[in-house]
């Protein structure tokens, strides 16, 4: 019986250690925006892009919602290629896209950015970076 109790305690202790090892230590960046801004002062972000529109306390950190980067992008029409520089029928119409970016910043009590989650974004043109990634990672 004692052997069973000690084995169970040992398994529980090992499980607790394994679970403790699974917690996030500093957060590995999951996107280009996080790679650029994680570990930076939130004040530097807000100085460059403007103040947040909302904030909510969440334990020892604060979640800031930021919106900005308002712009428009004209996407030209595409046509089928008939060769020799000739265009065939229209495949897609020209359009204007209205761009904006909205992100949620997780900021620690020492005002350091610990995470960035994109809320509103547009895909990049021709497989490029998303609009928020372009806007928020520009030098």
- Domain ranges in the chain? 2-137
49-84 pLDDT, tens digit each: 999 999 999 899 999 999 999 999 898 999 999 999
CB 75 within 8 Å of CB 99 = no
Q: Please state whether the predicted TM-score (pTM) of the whole model is above 0.75.
A: no
């Amino acid at each position: 019986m004692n052997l069973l109790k000690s084995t169970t305690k040992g398994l529980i202790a090992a499980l607790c250690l394994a679970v403790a090892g699974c917690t996030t230590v500093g957060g590995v960046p999951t996107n280009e925006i996080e790679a650029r801004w994680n570990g930076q002062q939130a004040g530097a972000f807000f100085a460059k892009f403007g103040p947040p529109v909302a904030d909510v306390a969440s334990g020892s950190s604060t979640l800031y919602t930021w919106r900005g980067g308002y712009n428009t992008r004209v996407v030209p029409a595409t046509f089928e290629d008939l060769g020799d520089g000739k265009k065939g029928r229209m495949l897609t119409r020209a359009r204007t896209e209205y761009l904006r970016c909205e992100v949620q910043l997780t900021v620690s009590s020492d005002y350091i950015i610990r995470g960035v989650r994109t809320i509103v974004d547009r895909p990049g043109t021709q497989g490029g970076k998303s609009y928020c990634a372009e806007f928020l990672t520009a030098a």
